[in-house]
Each structure stands twice: as C-alpha cells, then as structure tokens.
Amino acid sequence: MTGTTLTIPAPAKLNLFLHITGRRADGYHTLQSVFQLLDYGDELTISPRNDGQLRLQCSEATLNDDNNLVLKAARALQKLTNADCGADITLHKRIPAGAGLGGGSSDAASTLVGLNKLWNLQLSRSELARIGLPLGADVPVFVMGQSAWAEGIGEQLTPVELPDKHYLVLTPACHITTAAIFSHQELTRDTSPIKMHAFLTGQSRNDCEPLVRQLFPPVDAALRWLSGYAPARMTGTGASVFAAFDDQSAAREALRALHESAEMARIGVRGFVAKGVNRSEVYDLMMTAKDT
Ligand SMILES: C[C@@](CO)(OP(=O)(O)O)[C@H](O)COP(=O)(O)OP(=O)(O)OC[C@H]1O[C@@H](n2ccc(N)nc2=O)[C@H](O)[C@@H]1O
Ligand SMILES: Nc1ncnc2c1ncn2[C@@H]1O[C@H](COP(=O)(O)OP(=O)(O)O)[C@@H](O)[C@H]1O
C-alpha cells in the first residue's frame, strides 16, 4: 500500500440550467439540471499510510480544517476499511469555493475514487456515489465523471453528449450559501418538469437566478456585463455566471475585456475560460489508476 502516490483532478461543473420541480418530505428540493463538466479544476495528491491517520494539506488556508469535504469523504470510506488504512492528501484549490461550481463536492468525489483505488476497496461507481451523496448533492455526478442530465436532488443521472463549447466563467466576490437560497421565501419552487428536447431548444432557466440577482447586486452586474458578449446565466445557487462560446479565442477575448473593466474590478469579479468535457479524467481513473 505504501510507495504509491496518486494524482487526481477534481473538475468544476456548470449547471447549464436549473429548474426546481418540487420539495421532498425532508425539505430537499427536487431539481432538473444539466451538469456540464469542465476541463478546469482542483488537484489532489494522495499517498496511502499504514497507520490509519488522515492528514490534509490544502492550498487555501480557510479550507485547511476538519470540515474539509476531502476529510469527510475519506472518513466515510474509512468506516468500510481495516483500521490501518490512512492517507496523506494535498489539495490544490483552483475552483472558487461556494461559487456554484461544485468544488467541494468534486474534491470529495475525487477523494472517494482515489482512495477506492489506493485502499483496493473495489467499490463500484454507484456505491461510491451513494456514500458521497450525504456529503453534497453534486458528489454523484463527479464520481460518475460524465456530463449528465440530472433529476431527483441531482443523484438521478443520465449521461449526455453536449456540443463542444468554451465557457467564460465569472465569479463575483459574494458569499452565497446554498441553504440560504433554498430556504428563501421568494424562491420559485414549482416549475413544471421539462423534457430534454425543451432544454436543447433553449427553453430553460435557472430558477434561483432572479432571487440571487435581487439579493446580490454584484451577480446582477456580472450577468449584465457578460450579456454584452453572449447569453449569460448563473450556475447552481451562484455566485458564478457563465456564457458559452464556439471559439476559445472569442472566450479569451472577453476574459481580456474583463481584466480591463474598471466596473468588474471594483466589485471583485474573477474569471476563467474552460472547455466543456463530456467525460472527466475521474471517469478513466475508475478503470486504471494514474501512478506518479
Ligand atoms: C443546487 C446545486 C446544483 O448543482 O447548487 P450549488 O450548491 O452547486 O450552487 C447543488 O445541487 C447543491 O448541492 P450542495 O451544495 O452539495 O448542497 P448540499 O450541501 O447538499 O445542501 C445544502 C442545503 O441546501 C438545501 N438544498 C440543497 C440541495 C437541494 N436539492 N435542495 C435543498 O433544499 C438543503 O437545505 C441542504 O441542507
Ligand atoms: N474542499 C472544499 N472545497 C471547497 N469548499 C469546501 C471544501 N470542503 C468544504 N467546503 C465548504 O463547502 C462550501 C461549498 O463549497 P463548493 O462546493 O465549492 O460550492 P458550491 O456548493 O456553491 O458549488 C464552502 O463554502 C466551504 O465552506
């Protein structure tokens, strides 16, 4: 078990749309969404230990604690192993935290996939998804490693082949908690379910967007600025917003304009360009581990 180190990416996601279709008895909202995985994300390096200890070093100081979803995922998996299964994990963050890009869930999913390999647990994708779901509603899609049509609370997944697009993603400096948006009185909660065809012909929205725009003016400003380049939408419960481009050069051009915008600098908007992918590297890692 010792001597093997695994480097594993943890991609970001976009919700190309997000419809809230109802509410379960436990308070969680049922959704419809399309998760688009990106070729941009965090990176984990995992080395197994034989003494049962779990240690995490995270590049982001505020996430360097016991509540990091990486440690929660490792502990959930540790319950299924021998007492001597431990690991040293480093987490290099690139995905802004709490920004609707699924970074925490993706880190948790990559931890589950990586430790499943290193601890030789031989759990299936669906078993790992089931273990990960209580840690975050987006963990299953990252464990599956495929862009997908999602229902339920995001755990009923159907892989989809999405057209090649380059995304410009903007993240205003606002702290938005998912729970606060879902518990807000003014949230739209009863959208009629749609079929895949309606999404493909552009009949979709993010039901959280009107409320978040109203509560967080920087999100509204970022959406208005980005709409000057291409149709713009919010991902998840925010704060990030995105627009799709056919050409990478057009997306990069808009990113350059962002860096020159005094208004966007004033409200602290960061941006990156990423390509949408139908499968992430995590998908392949379930088959063969990439050793370093
Ligand atoms: C809505 C999505 C779409 O991708 O948005 P983002 O959080 O990425 O913006 C996610 O499914 C979010 O997933 P995640 O951020 O993991 O949410 P969780 O930690 O599981 O939930 C935080 C809290 O939000 C509420 N919640 C969350 C998801 C959901 N479908 N219904 C809810 O009502 C619950 O009160 C829950 O306790
Ligand atoms: N490894 C992690 N990366 C990001 N956030 C984490 C991590 N572990 C725990 N968190 C917590 O989870 C919250 C949600 O983070 P994240 O998954 O990035 O956002 P979102 O749910 O908006 O997509 C953060 O505000 C942070 O407190």
Residue 289's pLDDT is 45
CATH of 6-160, one of 3.30.390.50, 3.40.50.20, 3.30.230.10, 3.10.200.10: 3.30.230.10
Which one of 42, 138, 207, 220 is the catalytic residue? 138
Residue 148's pLDDT is 97
State the ipTM, two decimals.
0.96
Give the closest residue (by CA) to ligand 2 atom 15: 98
Distance CA 154, CA 149 (A): 9
- Residue 9 annotated as lining a ligand binding site: no
For the chain, residues classed under CATH 3.30.230.10 are 6-160
Q: Does domain 166-277 bear CATH number 3.30.70.890?
A: yes
The pLDDT averaged over each successive group of 10 residues in the chain (292 residues) is 83 97 93 97 97 97 96 96 91 96 98 96 95 96 97 95 97 94 91 85 92 98 98 97 98 98 97 98 75 38
Distance CA 216, CA 285 (A): 39
For the chain, residues classed under CATH 3.30.70.890 are 166-277
Grouping H, G, I as helix, E, B as strand and the rest as coil, residue 223 is helix
Give the closest residue (by CA) to ligand 2 atom 13: 98
Which residues, other chains included, contact 265 with Cβ-Cβ below 8 Å and sequence gap of 6+?
none
Whats the size of the chain, residue-wise?
292
- Residue 3 annotated as lining a ligand binding site: no
Residue 288's pLDDT is 62
Based on the residue annotation, tell me whether 13 is a catalytic residue of this protein: yes
